[in-house]
Structure 1
């Protein structure tokens, strides 16, 4: 039954408008917006909540700030009484999401997927009320598809349509390979929505953190509109330095998830370490069982502070290596290992050596 706008009371019409305004705030695009509006009309008229889906592949063990953009939007739907469907892509995670990649993403093993997925739900609870979230694993329905089902599903879309995706077309344009199995990823993503009868699906677009600070104030933080407008105005006028805006952004985010006290500590820690050059108090310690004298290149690699010797050489050339706060300029340096020696890479990586 089609529910029409004029069948709603004035209060219900106002509620549709209010919710739509909330969902549009900070959103790049709604496809199609008219359909979302109609679904809200039906939901409010019948009292039946919408099913809002977010799919996440456990390609890494931790949730990052990019996730909080869509998680915060899910919270808005949750606050209005709608059903949140979180899908852990334990099946699609083994395929590898090609989104935004210039090369195919590494396919994960069952063990890697399960290990990463274990941490997700608890981290989601920083944003969402986990007691009111449906948690699903897409292997439940995708692993039961047979070849006939897969062929039938793939007949619903053309290769030309798939190649329109930037991730595929960009790779093809520069001669990078696209494997056939990657084409099935977006098909399975769509099938997740079918299996759960979802009404709305949320997704994110990749954004660079340093391009528009204001996007992250708008998308991630819970600051009021007046506070956000003031920050934007001050940035535009030049009365607020971007560096100070980043510090405030970081403090606001920490405060949201860990409290005011932790935010204050994080701000002080940032100023002491990154602005004054002080050493952090919580430097991770590592037991050194190697030779008492080792080349700086080998030391960095053995400590897993650089992935390769070539990367270690480049970091030394760029002035990014310090031993006990002294900059290393000689890539042929032989280091005498001492108890409590602190090795620093860049501004964020530290290790303290304990001699065995």
Structure 2
């Protein structure tokens, strides 16, 4: 994976020579670059200079140089393109609900223009076929969070790619809404080749939660909730004998049995059996945030699927990339 540098105006200044680059995408949405101190040049390593890997989302805006004299390196840190989108409030001028309606690219383009972000970002003019249907944006939401949540409801995600400009012209970050890819339908990741799996099939979870509310002794509010093997929560029992695992849940702040049941269902979701899938792959497999993957561990034959919610990308000085994914449901 090779990167190109630009000056603060977006004009290309040649390749990035480095001894390591790390991205964290999906949570922190930032990066760190390490270069030898003898290579530092403020015209291409200074604040607001860009770096990018063409036709990918791997890049960002350099914000801070951090010399480490003992190691004779300079660390360059900043926000990825995704991170920059999440540093802008979607509706900074008023504290009222915002609703997103219409074709996704058109709606996103409106906000990129409204927030004055067109110097760096451009939204595809194509019709995505993805319609946002009166999505209510949470109060105090940031731009990326709002669109990620709206698109998730439509089984879609935001695609981010850096496009190079023509000769003597600035490049830009292109945004567009695309459907998520469910890799579990046609690709099963296993431990062949460059894939490393860590699958936990936790079978010691609570399957009977005794929920207690207000009151004393026989008068105390009580709701019994039971986990079923299909993932549902019911008021009828499935597990008995050696398979029955019980626990108490107390909540004296609720006013009604309905509230106690609602809170108890959320608690049982935290305590019940679960599966957890962790994946580490080399650069020949690149999954996108929001995409769904499936994995199978050959010894135990455990299978599961989950969407990607975080990527940690490490690129060494020779351009070799290793990507670690965090999937939904991981700690």
TM-score (norm 1): 0.25
Q: By percentage of residues, which structure has more helix? A: 1
Q: By percentage of residues, which structure has more strand? A: 2
The structure, 1 or 2, with the larger RCO (C-alpha pairs under 8 Å, 6+ apart) is 2
